[in-house]
Amino acid sequence: MRAEVALPILVPLLFGALSLIAWRSNLMQRVLGIIGSVTLLICSIWLLMSVLDQGHVVMYMGGWMAPYGITLVADLLSAIMVVLTGMMAVAIAIYSLSSASPSHEKFGYYPLMHLLLAGVAGSFLTGDIFNLYVWFEVMLIASFALLILGGERAQMEGAIKYVTLNLLSSAIFLSAIGLLYGLVGTLNMADIAVKLSQTEHTGLVDVIAVMFMIAFGIKAAAFPLFFWLPASYHTGPVAVSALFAGLLTKVGVYALFRVFTLIFNQSPEFTHQLLLWGAAFTMLTGVLGAAAQFEFRRILSFHIVSQIGYMLLGLALFTPLALVGGVFYIMHHIIVKTNLFLISGIVHRLLGTYDLKQLGGVYKDRPYLSILFLIPALSLAGLPPLSGFFAKFIIIRAGIEAEAWVVTAIALIVGLLTLYSMIKIWAEVFWKPLPENHSTVDSNPSTKPSSLAFLYIPVVLLGACTLFIGLNGQPIYEIAEASAKQLLNPALYIEAVLGETP
């Protein structure tokens, strides 16, 4: 049996349960955190290998055949996402060795982290639309609890917005599932795709499609319902914000990719057009919001929103090249964004604040950290030869080929404004001298070198990944291309799940 498709879900759940039992011992939890995330990474690479080797990997949980039981399906996109999840898990687990405070660990930091990873992996791998909802909720509950670790005022305010908007999105998602089930009478995504292509295309299908779009759009922080993200992501502990920034919104993006290539592909002139404008406004509002900010993590949060726009643009153009770009962008973005948040955490550890106006002089004191920042920052802005350049290049080229001039122009302008934001951070945090009235916290015992090393290791590793994608993009591009091919040919997915082509 193909166990590799279920292991990325089972492994974090198992380690979550173990570290919940070991909650009295912080050391045990840390060890379990490292072992668990490394195991997850190994399992996910195994999954990617076998998907590359043999195409879709399918497992019918409990031996109940599709469309009756819950099916786990891994195509290339899911496998890529799971591998990225594993990479982020390892990075955050190492980072947490130094960044997590003992009180957070007592409160269940590691079990919640494992639960979150299980939810994320489950969302990527499930082939059942209701099961997707369940994994979304697993992920959300874990993320709610992680976000308020520490219990400061800003966290509470941020969490209330986060919880409300996400519950609203879940309710819309659930309503859409109900209507869809009433229409086609099945929950298996492949089966829904078959049934939906056979039923008459009525207005109700479009209504359901838009409901899914709104539900996933909220989760992905797309225009117009993205306000919860910049209001909440900068409030949590930094390792948590980094994990959220890298993975959580991308689950929404993944769900959009899955649903709008597999199920709702009948009327792209309506749905994908809507997505296109959503993507354009997402890019623009995100980057303009960032331009007005002077707090390290808030700038980065707004940039998540604007980058989500690029990924959606890849989906909305719906040409083979654009989908390649979208997938490539997701891969590049998860690594880069997590890395930037981790760096903001290091700066905070060194100088005790996230406020750009009170920061400064990091380049003078720690030139290596500055270079580590420049790699993801310039990659985010899309400068060659880093990973972001190729991601943006593919998408913009796809936009020009599809003759979507306005949106392509917006994408280019947003790239420029991203560069502006990154330069702003560079100038304020790294270049300008430290403001005189600033009291350094260098005497803080927690900044001793051994504890800082754990903060640097993941940053260096992720920076290396960015460089690798940039300098050796060909294999990554080929994987993205193969997965875009699979996305554009849903018959493969349906055949893998249901057995034969109907």
Binding site residues, other proteins, CB under 8 A? 1, 3, 6, 10, 13-14, 16-23, 59-63, 108, 111, 130, 133-134, 137, 140-141, 144-145, 148, 151-154, 156-161, 163-164, 167-168, 170-171, 174-175, 177-179, 181-182, 187, 227, 231-232, 234-235
Residue 20 beta carbon to other proteins: minimum distance, rounded to whole angstroms = 3
Closest by alpha carbon to 258, among 443, 498, 442, 75?
75
3-state secondary structure of 13: helix
Q: Which amino acid is residue 322, in one-letter code?
A: A
Residue 441 and residue 327: Cα distance in Å, rounded? 42
Residue 306 beta carbon to other proteins: minimum distance, rounded to whole angstroms = 18
The nearer residue to other proteins, 177 or 484, going by C-beta atoms, is: 177
The nearer residue to other proteins, 358 or 451, going by C-beta atoms, is: 358
Kindly report the backbone phi and psi dihedral angles of residue 318, in degrees, each rounded to the nearest multiple of 5, phi listed first.
60, 30
Residue 128 and residue 359: Cα distance in Å, rounded? 48
Q: For residue 499, count other CB atoms closer than 10 A to its CB.
A: 12
Cα 348 to the center of its chain, rounded Å: 23
Residue 438 and residue 358: Cα distance in Å, rounded? 7
Q: Does a cis peptide bond (omega within 30 degrees of 0) precede residue 102?
A: no
Residue 426 and residue 375: Cα distance in Å, rounded? 12
Residue 222 and residue 60: Cα distance in Å, rounded? 33
Residue 109 and residue 53: Cα distance in Å, rounded? 37
Closest by alpha carbon to 415, among 403, 430, 428, 399?
399
Q: How many CA atoms lie within 13 A of 346 on its CB side?
A: 26
The nearer residue to other proteins, 85 or 301, going by C-beta atoms, is: 301
Integer Rg of the chain from CA = 22
Q: Which amino acid is residue 160, in one-letter code?
A: I
Residue 146 beta carbon to other proteins: minimum distance, rounded to whole angstroms = 12
Q: At what angle do helices 109-125 and 7-21 cross, to 10 degrees?
A: 170
Q: Are 224 and 281 in contact (CB under 8 A)?
A: yes
Residue 456 beta carbon to other proteins: minimum distance, rounded to whole angstroms = 29
Residue 233 beta carbon to other proteins: minimum distance, rounded to whole angstroms = 10
Residue 277 and residue 53: Cα distance in Å, rounded? 37
3-state secondary structure of 226: coil
The nearer residue to other proteins, 94 or 129, going by C-beta atoms, is: 129
Closest by alpha carbon to 483, among 264, 329, 324, 265?
324
Residue 299 and residue 290: Cα distance in Å, rounded? 5
Residue 155 beta carbon to other proteins: minimum distance, rounded to whole angstroms = 9
3-state secondary structure of 2: coil
The nearer residue to other proteins, 111 or 286, going by C-beta atoms, is: 111
Residue 16 beta carbon to other proteins: minimum distance, rounded to whole angstroms = 7
Residue 179 beta carbon to other proteins: minimum distance, rounded to whole angstroms = 5
Residue with tokens 């304020």: 428
Residue 248 is given by DSSP the state I
The nearer residue to other proteins, 148 or 391, going by C-beta atoms, is: 148
SS3 content of the chain, % helix, strand, coil (to 5): 80, 5, 20
Q: Are 487 and 257 in contact (CB under 8 A)?
A: yes
Kindly report the backbone phi and psi dihedral angles of residue 58, in degrees, each rounded to the nearest multiple of 5, phi listed first.
-125, 140
Residue 320 and residue 487: Cα distance in Å, rounded? 9
